[in-house]
Structure 1
């Protein structure tokens, strides 16, 4: 039996509102999107929504563990639905395109710090930087 977005929200202790459903649906097809881009997508379906509502929904979904927030340097916060693993990201230094990078070696959290200072490491976050294929073609 397939889990619906309604079930996913309720399973996380959230009401299945039209706004939350619209944001999750938008993120399914627009990974690594910022709040402004998601607002534009959601407002096509829910014209009365506001940017503040989208920010609030993203905060709720992040807190509930249904979306992941990433913050590449020099970028607005970006959101994605891929939350079930400890993957990393690669960011184009020219256009800002973002792509997922699976862990290269070993088990999550992928990296072992030389000293954790008493902390129990749960995840590691790595951001790779470089030129995406489109920007490489322009640079040639």
Structure 2
């Protein structure tokens, strides 16, 4: 009989199912990275590495990069690359949401689609492309940074 809480075993089974459905082999590092990113906002590879180190101490930062690349390539994670920031990974996939980045503390938050259905924005001239996604990054000060006077 398993001693893991039902929610943990359900999450693990879901992660295994998602990996298999994406054509990926189920491995401990893939499960750990997927778990570390799922529901935890926008994380860079170093933050993911820190989250999994206790459970998988032999996992290198390079391995985390490799797993993140595989999970992104399989469509299980989304990668965003705000200017001046390392790549960030999130588990919110399957929609065309956008992001806002604080110019002071670099916090990142999701913003739902700007207008209507994806791609949310329609260019004046698509140059013959069939547009399916629009990626927008808004920049500004988060609520916490707005409370602190500039240095």
Smaller-chain TM-score range? Answer: over 0.9
Structure 1 gaps of 5+ residues are none
TM-score after normalising by structure 1: 0.95
Cα deviation digits, residues 93-137 of structure 1 (max 9, x gap): 000000000013221100000101011101000000000111011
Superposition pairs of residues 21-60 of structure 1, within 5 angstroms? 21-60=31-70
Corresponding residue number in structure 1 for 2:92: 82
Native 8 Å contact 2:80 2:89 kept in 1? yes
Whether 1:98 and 2:108 are equivalent positions in the alignment is yes
Whether 1:136 and 2:142 are equivalent positions in the alignment is no
Give SS of 2:148's match: helix
Native 8 Å contact 2:98 2:136 kept in 1? yes
Structure 2 gaps of 5+ residues are 1-9
Cα deviation digits, residues 63-84 of structure 1 (max 9, x gap): 1000010000000000001011
Greater C-alpha Rg: 2
Moved over 2 A (4+): none
Give SS of 2:89's match: strand
Whether 1:64 and 2:77 are equivalent positions in the alignment is no
Aligned-residue CA RMSD (Å): 1.5
Distance between the aligned counterparts of 2:146 and 2:54, measured in 1? 34
Cα deviation digits, residues 27-77 of structure 1 (max 9, x gap): 114221000110111112100100010000011001100001000000000
Distance between the aligned counterparts of 1:85 and 1:29, measured in 2? 15
Corresponding residue number in structure 2 for 1:113: 123
Would you say how many aligned residue pairs link Structure 1 and Structure 2?
140
TM-score after normalising by structure 2: 0.89
